[in-house]
Structure 1
Amino acid sequence: MSGSGTTADDDPPLQTAVWRLRSRACWTDAAALLAPHAATDPAAALQRTALLTERCLYTAKGWTDAEDALRNAEALAHDDAERGAAACERGHLAYASTLLGVRDRADEASVALSRAAALLSPAAAGRPLLDFRRGLIAQNIADSPQSARAAYRRAHAGATAQEDELLLSFTWRHLASLALREGELAEARHGFTESLRIREELGYLVGTAPALMSLADAEPEPQAARLRAEAGRLFRLLGGVPTWLAPQLEPALPQQARPLGDAAGAWRVR
């Protein structure tokens, strides 16, 4: 669906509008479009929760709205697939809170994702996303790169099978980050390049600057400097989002473009 990262001509107009707003960091507006449907439709409630959680990840704001949306989604879930998907969203929101230093909810994140794994069948549509999020926990909270790599590879295979291009951009990027950590520059450069290519093709503008910065870490100068300059341009275009890119971009940013309250290290999220 367009809300997940495609803009096919036969997509429902609502999903196309949601995707366009989401990709330009207008999560609140996108969530407002879904609000009438989210009152009764479990799928819409889950999508709205995911949008508001992504807003938290990119801005470190809006936690109460995301929690309220999540509770609504949990209340509407009536079968294992929907309950599993809601548990996956709870785990992701708790992970975000932990990573950004808002509140340590690491145990809640792990428990929620384990519950999601128990509820979702191996063939469930939401399984690749769950695997990716378990990889985030392993990499960034448990500091277990081997477990993270295994989870990311499962997510990557699942996203490939489901033709979920946006999720593939995430798995490429995080597998590349592990390769870079181990000094495998060619592998890292390939993964970061694929992630960037997909985001540019999808028009996922809010995720393009982080992808540019990641690729810059694997490229020599002067190419790295050009990539960082382009990331800075997009950062300013979106009004300083994602906020956690500011510390890396500060030398090239004018003073008025530097948001306050950045969450150091949150580049790992997406």
Structure 2
Amino acid sequence: MAHTAMSGSGTTAGDDPLQTAVWRLRSRGCWTDAAALLEPHAADPAAALERAGLLVERCLFSGDGWADAEDALRTAEAVARDDDERGGAACERGRLAYAATRLGVRDRADEARSALGRAAALLAPTSPGRPLLDFRRGLVAEHIADSPEAAGAAYQRAHAGAAAQGDSLLLSFTWHHLAGLALREGELVEARHGFSESLRIREELGYLIGTAPVLAALADCEPEPEASRLRAEAGRLFRLLGGVPVWLAAQLAPAASTVPAQPEPAA
């Protein structure tokens, strides 16, 4: 089974039917159902890691399911056989700790840094998991360490790695977060380009769960009436998906319409 956890490029006609089914569920926010498809394969390190990644992503988007994610992570850690697999599990553990910290569930910032540092020690510079690790270290630098310069460098490394690997979904995240940094600096043209590229990729992939955050972010780069149109579309998708991602609600509130959207805490 090919490991496509938590990055990936959507589905094509030649994809494995299981991976196609997992992607379709994941892209609509049905993480528990997607993880259930992988549960019979949990003895396989790649499947166990992918399942853990799905449940960690559920935590990030919904603020729920922490115990299930922890259980899945322990399984992935237990079945890992080599440094690359152990590094991938450490990367997911760092993301879970980051999510708990960012969403205000519990301060696990030290654990996030430690786990991602362990992943960096285990993953070879040429490992396929390295761009995703760079991206997640950028998230910690930006949102926990409040170091946009370090975050930007990490996002750029992740962006280059994702492009080299043809990882379209990760590219959508790096575009989004690089655009978010540009928006913080008042670089509206650069920000608009990055958010537009992120949106284009997500629409091409059918990554519905990640579309509303980019629409809301792009709205902050556009004049009226386009800004209101984009926010309204983001709100429609947000409601369609049952109020997920939970952290988008405040950005879509009328009182928040003049406040620039914060970059999504995801991936």
The aligned residue for residue 18 of structure 1 is: 22
SS at match of 1:218: coil
1:102 alignment partner, one of 87, 100, 105: 105
Q: 1:140-182 CA deviation, whole Å, 9 max, x = no partner?
A: 0000000000000000000000000000000000000000101
Matched, 1:230 2:233: yes
TM-superposed CA distance for 1:266, in Å, is 7.6
Q: Is the 8 A contact 1:244 1:266 kept in 2?
A: no
Query: Once the two structures are superposed, what CA deviation does each residue of 1:10-52 show, in whole Å capped at 9, x if it has no partner?
Result: 10000000000000010000000000001x1000000001100
| Distance change in 2, residues 1:185/1:138 (3 Å) | same
Residues 100 and 266, structure 1, Cα contact 8 Å, conserved in 2: no
- In structure 2, runs of 5+ residues without a counterpart are 256-260
The alpha-carbon deviation at position 269 of structure 1 amounts to: 3.3
Distance 2:165 2:92 in 1: 19
Equivalent residue for 2:190?
187
How far off is 1:218 after superposition?
A: 1.1
What is the total number of aligned residue pairs between the two structures? 258
Q: 2: distance between equivalents of 1:179 and 1:245? A: 20
2:150 corresponds to = 147
Relative to structure 1, is the Cα distance of residues 168 and 6 closer, same or farther in structure 2, using a 3 angstrom cutoff?
same
RMSD: 1.5
Q: 1:7 corresponds to which letter in structure 2?
A: T
Question: Percent identity, aligned pairs only?
Answer: 74
Letter in 2 for 1:132: F
Which letter maps to 1:73?
Answer: A
Q: Which has the higher contact order (CA 8 A, sep 6+)?
A: 2
CA distance in 2, matches of 1:154, 1:265: 21
1:191-210 counterparts in 2 under 5 A?
191-210=194-213
How far apart in 2 are the matches of 1:202 and 1:140?
Answer: 27
TM-score (norm 1): 0.93
Q: Is the 8 A contact 1:5 1:19 kept in 2?
A: no
CA distance in 2 between counterparts of 1:105 and 1:208 reads 28
> TM-score with structure 2 length normalisation?
0.94
Question: 1:257 maps to what in 2?
Answer: none
Give matches, 1:48-67, under 5 Å: 48-67=51-70
In the other structure, the counterpart of 2:130 is 127
Deviation per residue, 1:165-201 (Å, 9 max, x gap): 0000000000000001011110000000000000000
* Runs of 4 or more consecutive aligned structure 1 residues displaced over 4 Å after TM superposition: none
Aligned to 1:6: 10
How far, CA to CA, are the matches of 1:155 and 1:72 in structure 2?
A: 27
Find out whether 1:34 has 2:38 as its counterpart: yes
Cα displacement (A) at 1:265: 6.2
Q: Distance in 2 between matches of 1:16 and 1:140?
A: 33
Q: Which residue of 1 is the match for residue 264 of structure 2? A: 267
The Cα shift of 1:249 comes to 1.9
